[in-house]
Structure 1
Amino acid sequence: MPDIATPARTQAILNRYHLSAKKSLGQNFLTDLNILQKIVDAANVSDADNIIEIGPGIGGLTEQLAKRAKKVLAFEIDQNLLHVLDDTLAEYNNVKVINQDILQANLPQTISSEFEEKGPVKVVANLPYYITTPIILDLLKGNANFDQIVVMMQKEVADRLVAKPGSKDYGSLSIIIQYLNNTEIAFEVPRTSFIPAPKVNSAIVSLSSRENIDNPVFDFDKFCGFVRGCFLHRRKTFWNNLQGLFGKTPEIKNELKLALQNFDIDAGIRPEKLSIDEYVELANYFHDKKML
């Protein structure tokens, strides 16, 4: 039988089960086997790996992962797809589908109970575009440790994840993600690779944890809040955003001036000009001053 993700078989499955992509769940079905195999390659999937997939759909990527991984645990929120996946993935005994929102899952507990044979744990998924950022942040901020995260997302979001200081795409998301990870775009995916074709192009992003962080932040959640506050009004100067974040009393202004002088930062600089290290240093400084 042809692979699930061939155009003909995908359409046959959709017709058989009277399925159509749900816009509310960001569903688009990838029908390019070459792209799917490149995703699996980007994650360096081997028979030693335990894989978590998010949103398997009708099982196109799941099948390719199952052919190479030790086990695939797929989280599918759409209950209507469960019986479809039971059918399309019937021949793969190393796949388990869980009908649960990944954002509601206790991943450390699930990993411990479902992956009986220990080994590398990787996330490989075609993420729903409307909820890409919350899922990534939840994966990174949770207590589960992943050897690699390889996910498809809207190209525009991918550009923000890998952006460098001074670029138009560089912002709070760039800093938060790159503080924790080595981040790269593995390759781009044209919209014509999907049924139905989305309105935007996509990209595969690979995230791997930075092993040694020389200057760790005091608290990751507070650091994220600080960085977001610094970019709250992107067109304003860094100084104005700091005042919006901390206040405008004479005492606060004095502390802010001392901080900028201490790190040799121009008050008139734009927030996108500062490096990740500068944001870390400032956040830790304000924490020491009991301001964060």
Structure 2
Amino acid sequence: MINQWIATPKRTKAILETYGFSFKKSLGQNFIIDVNILKNIIQKAGIDERSGAVEIGPGIGALTEQLAVSAEKVIAYEIDQRLLPILNDTLSRYGNIEIINEDILKANVADMLKSRFKPSQPIYVVANLPYYITTPILMKLLREDLPAASLTVMIQKEVAERMAAKPNTKSYGSLSIAVQYYTEAKVVMNVPKSVFMPPPNVDSSVLKLTRREKAPVHVVDEDFFFDMVQACFAQRRKTLRNNLIRHFESAADNRTISNGLKQAGIDETRRGESLDMEEFAELANTFYKIVKSGA
């Protein structure tokens, strides 16, 4: 059976030729052709025979197949209708896979998980995500509060580093805060371009996002908190004070902004990259009260 794995150069080429499949650049299609990489991803995700697995963008089924071997049940979302007959063929030997032809950004994933998996079943998202749409997909899944223990995803290396970055580093920014508010983020492996067909133009990493039981900080209003974080990184070389003056414009004058930073206990000459999440929460909560009170 090992010789029949989808994730080999020979088998992948044969499948593509059989169906006359051509890659769509607009969908960011890069298929993995190394079984060991896939097995390593699944091992890092912590999947076993009791697990439910959710995949996004199965392609011709390389990762889907390995998930089916390891997990109890696999649900895979595929937006490209051309791939449906290929998946029906390549995965026909497995009875524990369901392919859903739907755009993951429009799908009600939370309801699907509740209807397809057992209430006590551990659920994991595992995917080789299209690089052009990585962040919208992950933020949708994180903000929907899915009953999934973790998300283990292959993404562009630079983006993975940004999501897992710590304060006072070049990669640290609003995306780091957004992801780490919901999860503990860790880059668990790097992946060479050579294991893809066709090879992507960028390096790849596998990022594991483990869901937090509760947010690590208390914020009065989540939307306001995330807006404040983005504002502080709007122009990285500018100070917090200058970025916030630009952000609030007519909603708060310069003196009010200086007073707000003082109330939050944060030096107005600092830059966004120097603040940790607790400091961002204090900043957002302070300014939320100021803005809402009209002070």
TM-score range normalised by the length of the shorter chain: over 0.9
The residue type paired with residue 121 of structure 2 is G
Return the TM-score normalized by structure 2.
0.94
- Aligned residue for 1:21? 23
1:56-99 C-alpha deviation (Å, 9 max, x unpaired): 00000000000011111000000000000000000111100000
Percentage of pairs with the same residue: 47
- Aligned residue for 1:159? 161
Corresponding pairs, count: 291
The range that moved more, 122-131 or 258-267, is 258-267
Selected match of 1:229 from 228, 231, 248? 231
Where 1:103 maps in the other structure, the secondary structure is coil
The residue type paired with residue 159 of structure 1 is E
Shift of 1:256: 1.7
Return the TM-score normalized by structure 1.
0.95
RMSD: 1.6
- Aligned residue for 1:56? 58
- Aligned residue for 2:253? 252
Shift of 1:254: 2.7
Where 2:218 maps in the other structure, the secondary structure is coil
Task: Give the direction of change, closer, same or farther, for the CA distance of 1:104–1:213 in structure 2 (3 Å limit).
Answer: closer
Give runs of aligned pairs for residues 276-291 of structure 1, distance below 5 A: 276-291=277-292
Runs of 5+ consecutive residues of structure 1 not aligned to the other structure: none
Task: Give the direction of change, closer, same or farther, for the CA distance of 1:214–1:155 in structure 2 (3 Å limit).
Answer: closer
The answer to whether residue 6 in structure 2 is matched with residue 8 in structure 1 is no
CA distance in 2, matches of 1:248, 1:117: 50
Shift of 1:21: 1.8
Runs of 5+ consecutive residues of structure 2 not aligned to the other structure: none
1:25-73 C-alpha deviation (Å, 9 max, x unpaired): 0000100111100110011101111111000000000000000111110
Task: Give the direction of change, closer, same or farther, for the CA distance of 1:151–1:221 in structure 2 (3 Å limit).
Answer: same
Task: Give the direction of change, closer, same or farther, for the CA distance of 1:210–1:117 in structure 2 (3 Å limit).
Answer: closer
- Aligned residue for 2:244? 242
Task: Give the direction of change, closer, same or farther, for the CA distance of 1:16–1:138 in structure 2 (3 Å limit).
Answer: same
Shift of 1:143: 3.8
Where 2:70 maps in the other structure, the secondary structure is coil
The range that moved more, 36-45 or 262-271, is 262-271
Selected match of 2:140 from 132, 138, 141? 138
